[in-house]
Amino acid sequence: MAKELELKYGCNPNQKPSRLFMEHGELPVKVLNGRPGYINFMDALNSWQLVKELKEATGLASAASFKHVSPAGAAVGLPLNETDRKIYFVDEENLSPLACAYARARGADRMSSYGDWAALSDICDEDTARLIKKEVSDGVIAPGYTPEALALLKEKKKGMYNVVEIDPNYVPDPIERKQVFGVTFEQGRNNVKIDDSLFTNIVTENHDLPENAVRDLKIALIALKYTQSNSVAYAKNGQVIGVGAGQQSRVHCVRLAGNKADNWWLRQNPKVLALPFKQGIRRADRDNTIDVYISDEYEDVLREGTWQNFFETRPEPLSKQEKLDWLAKETGVSLGSDAFFPFGDNIERAHKSGVSYIAEPGGSIRDDNVIETCNRYGMTMVFNGVRLFHH
């Protein structure tokens, strides 16, 4: 391990010089391939913390897909069913748990994950490397790589794909610092643990909180711990399905993340699964086309005739009523928030995306209104007493 790494530039090409260094000791990371930049390492170090904590909290292999220092997706390694493989564009069956975790993390919001940084909780195996190689991605961080996996990743991006290895035993100093406008900020690291103890204070009439909901709430909250605030995360089936990050209004976070969760569910509609794509269409074009198909913009595509660029035959649109009927089938979604909900309008929007379980700190002067709104829809809500702002 080196004491410092010279970087090409900082956040932007004009921000030079740029480096990564340790004041004491050696860096806990080693570059095995490529030349990661400033933002790459910001994504790498934040995403590694997320997957490391997710593995510790669940005991399952974990992965994250990061863009601009917030997760587009995060997941644990539950097996993929047939529908999962279709919506995540995974042809292989019997994948390793780590590969399943990455497929879920990458597939939650494929448009946002375009050009992602991947993080893996375990040694990267050949199954996982093969999935990453297919995607447009900037780099990956993991505690190690099998020889077969490393060989595959080194072939990516004409040999320039960024591969970073991190020491899994590295423990940072308890005090962290950063500078803004030449002024140094200092604070204790956010070492709060997301564990079962945070899910005991159920404040709603409905006290039903099954194990799978606790698991998904853990995933949501750990993801939020490394998401730019304000933020909320929707989770289901062992993965984040929608993240709303960096919004000034919490209800806008809920809407943004809810729209992403809705798209994740709409992609599983039989009409979407049966779209007659032309042979050879690029993965990114396929993602963009699906997004257009499930939006109101598809009517314009039909009028303009541009559907012929992507489909063998003309797909009939999903009507507004078909979308509403399909979305109404979505239930059992978990929602985590990095701070309290100030009004019940957040819960109203969450209900539209099938949310059944909520974890938030509590402490608003309108907690009674928020709880009352949850009771109206039969939701289970936990006050965990922990704020998870991340800036």
DSSP 328-356: TT---EEEEESS---STHHHHHHHHTTEE
Residue with tokens 């069956």: 93
Whether CATH 3.40.140.20 fits 4-171: yes
Measure the CA–CA gap between 83 and 274, rounded to whole angstroms.
11
User: What mean pLDDT is predicted for residues 142-162?
Assistant: 97
pLDDT given for residue 24 in this prediction: 86
If pLDDT is split at 50, 70 and 90, which confidence band does 302 have? confident
pLDDT band at 45, cuts 50/70/90? very high
Flag whether pLDDT at 1 surpasses 80.
Answer: no
pLDDT one-digit tens code per residue, 144-153: 999 999 999 9
Q: Torsion angle of alpha carbons 355, 356, 361, 364, nearest 10°? A: 80
For 235, phi then psi, to 5°, come to -140, 150
> Alpha-carbon Rg of the chain, whole angstroms?
21
* Calculated CA dihedral for residues 323, 91, 105, 267, nearest 10 degrees: 0
**C-alpha to C-alpha distance for 322 and 316, rounded to whole angstroms:** 12
* DSSP secondary structure of 253-273: HHHHHHHHHHHHHHTTSHHHH
Res 300: pLDDT: 81
What is the torsional sign of CA 178, 181, 184, 187?
negative
In the numeric block, which tokens belong to residue 282? 């690029």
The answer on pLDDT for 327 being more than 80 is yes
* Residue 362, phi-psi category: left (phi > 0), alpha (psi -120 to 50), beta (remainder): left
- DSSP character at residue 147: H
In 3-state terms, what secondary structure has residue 318? Answer: coil
User: Distance from CA of residue 164 to its chain's centroid?
Assistant: 20
Identify the band that residue 301 occupies on the pLDDT scale cut at 50, 70 and 90: confident
Backbone angles phi, psi at 309, to 5 degrees: -70, -20
Nearby residues of 123 by Cβ (< 8 Å), 6 or more positions away: 142, 143, 144, 145, 146
Determine which of 20-34, 108-122, 202-216, 294-308 has the lowest per-residue pLDDT on average. Answer: 294-308
Please give the DSSP secondary-structure letter assigned to residue 317.
P
Where does 193-266+328-383 sit in CATH, by number?
Answer: 3.40.140.20
What percent of the chain has a predicted confidence (pLDDT) above 70?
100
Looking at residue 23, what is its pLDDT?
87
Q: Which among 285, 251, 226, 237 is positioned nearest to 65, based on CA atoms?
A: 226
Contact 138, 162 (CB under 8 A): yes
Catalytic residues: 67-68, 230, 391
DSSP per residue, 33-84? ES---HHHHHHHHHHHHHHHHHHHHHSS-EEEEEETTEEEEEEE-PPP-HHH
pLDDT at 391 over 80: yes
Q: How confident is the model at residue 304 (pLDDT cuts 50, 70, 90)?
A: confident
